[in-house]
Amino acid sequence: MRNCDDGSHGNRVAAATAASVTHKPRAVTRPAVFDYYFGICHARRRGRRIAVGLVVAALGAVGGALFATDTAYVVGLGAVVLGTWYAQPAAKRLLVPAPWSPQRWNYAPLAEGIDWEAVDDWLDLGSGTGRSLVGPAPAVDDARVTALDPFDGRVIAGNDPERARRNAATAGLDATPVRGDAARLPVATGSQDAITACRLLHDLSRGDAEATLSEARRVLRADGTLGVLELAAAHEETDDPLGYWSELVTAAGFTIVASGSVERRDERYFYVIGE
C-alpha cells in the first residue's frame, strides 16, 4: 500500500493509504509559465453553447430595438437575459483549465503513488496534448514513454502528437506519441511497467472504459502498476465516484493499492492505483 500526501503541492489528498515511497526527483529545469500549451478542452461543445447564447441575446437586442414596442422590449430583454444565462457557464469554463497550465496538483497522487524508479516502460493512455505526461514528469526516472491518443480535436482543440511530444520534452521527458484507441491497444502483451489513464475513462462509453482497463491488464507486466485519475462524472448517477472507478479497476483484475481524491477550489479528482 502506498501513501500519497499533498507535500509541496498544496492540495488535499483524502483517504490515502499506508507505507510511503521515496522518490529521487528528476533534475528538470523549471519551465516558465507559457512554455506549455495544452490546447482548449471541450472547445467545440463550449463554443457551440456560447455561440447559441450570444445569437439569442443579439436577436433579442436587435428585435427589441427594431420593433420598439413595449412587447418587443420585454421579449427582447427576456432573450438577452436567457441568451446570457445560457452562454455564461460555458464562457466561464472555456479557459478552465488554462491552456498553458500543467495543473500538476491533479497528478500528484500518481507522481507520488507509483514507484517510478522501477518503471522502464510507461504508457499514458489518452495523453492528449500531454498534461498527464508533464504532471508526473519530475518523479519519473529514465523511462521509455509512450503517449497514446487518437490525436483528434473532439475533446481538446489543438490535440496533436507533436504538441504532446513538445510539452513532454519541456518537462524533461522523451515521449513517443502513438495514434490509437485505448480500448484496442496496439501494444505488446506484458511490455509495460506503468500505465496511466488520466481523465480518459469518463470520456469513453462504459464498455470502452472496461475494455481499456482489460487492455491495460494485458499490456502491463505481472508486477506493473496502473494509475487512474478520474472526475466525479461516472457513466451512471452515483454519490460514490471513487467507489465506482475502484470497482471498474477491480473488475479488470487489479488489486487496489491506493485510492482517494485530490481537490483544489471547486475541482475534485479521484485516483485509483492498482497492481
Ligand X SMILES: C[S@@+](CC[C@H](N)C(=O)[O-])C[C@H]1O[C@@H](n2cnc3c(N)ncnc32)[C@H](O)[C@@H]1O
181 binds ligand X (CB under 6 A): yes
* CB-count exposure of residue 30 (10 Å: 0-12, 13-18, 19+): exposed
In the list 2, 9, 131, 163, the residue contacting ligand X (rule: CB under 6 A) is 131
Cβ nearer to ligand X, comparing 69 with 205: 205
* Cα distance between residue 219 and residue 15, in whole Å: 28
273 binds ligand X (CB under 6 A): no
Cβ nearer to ligand X, comparing 60 with 135: 135
128 binds ligand X (CB under 6 A): yes
In the list 47, 150, 158, 172, the residue contacting ligand X (rule: CB under 6 A) is 150
Cα torsion through 47, 49, 53, 59, rounded to 10: 80
Residues of span 158-177 touching ligand X by CB under 6 A: 159
* CB-count exposure of residue 46 (10 Å: 0-12, 13-18, 19+): buried
Structural contact between residues 1 and 258, judged by C-beta atoms closer than 8 angstroms: yes
Cβ nearer to ligand X, comparing 16 with 198: 198
Stretch that binds ligand X, among 12-20, 83-91, 120-128, 217-225 (CB under 6 A): 120-128
Reading the block at residue 100, the C-alpha cell is: 498553458
In the list 126, 161, 177, 224, the residue contacting ligand X (rule: CB under 6 A) is 126
* Cα distance between residue 273 and residue 224, in whole Å: 11
Minimum distance, C-beta of residue 144 to ligand X, in the bound complex (Å): 18
From first CA to last CA, the distance across the chain in angstroms is 10
Residue type, 260: G
Residues of span 53-82 touching ligand X by CB under 6 A: none
6 binds ligand X (CB under 6 A): no
Residues of span 190-229 touching ligand X by CB under 6 A: 198-200, 203-204
Reading the block at residue 1, the C-alpha cell is: 500500500
* Cα distance between residue 167 and residue 170, in whole Å: 5
Stretch that binds ligand X, among 111-119, 137-145, 146-154, 213-221 (CB under 6 A): 146-154
Stretch that binds ligand X, among 123-131, 220-228, 233-241, 244-252 (CB under 6 A): 123-131
Structural contact between residues 258 and 249, judged by C-beta atoms closer than 8 angstroms: no
The site that binds ligand X (CB under 6 A) totals a number of residues, namely: 20
Structural contact between residues 127 and 159, judged by C-beta atoms closer than 8 angstroms: no
| Site residues for ligand X per CB under 6 A | 125-128, 131-132, 148-150, 155-156, 159, 181-183, 198-200, 203-204
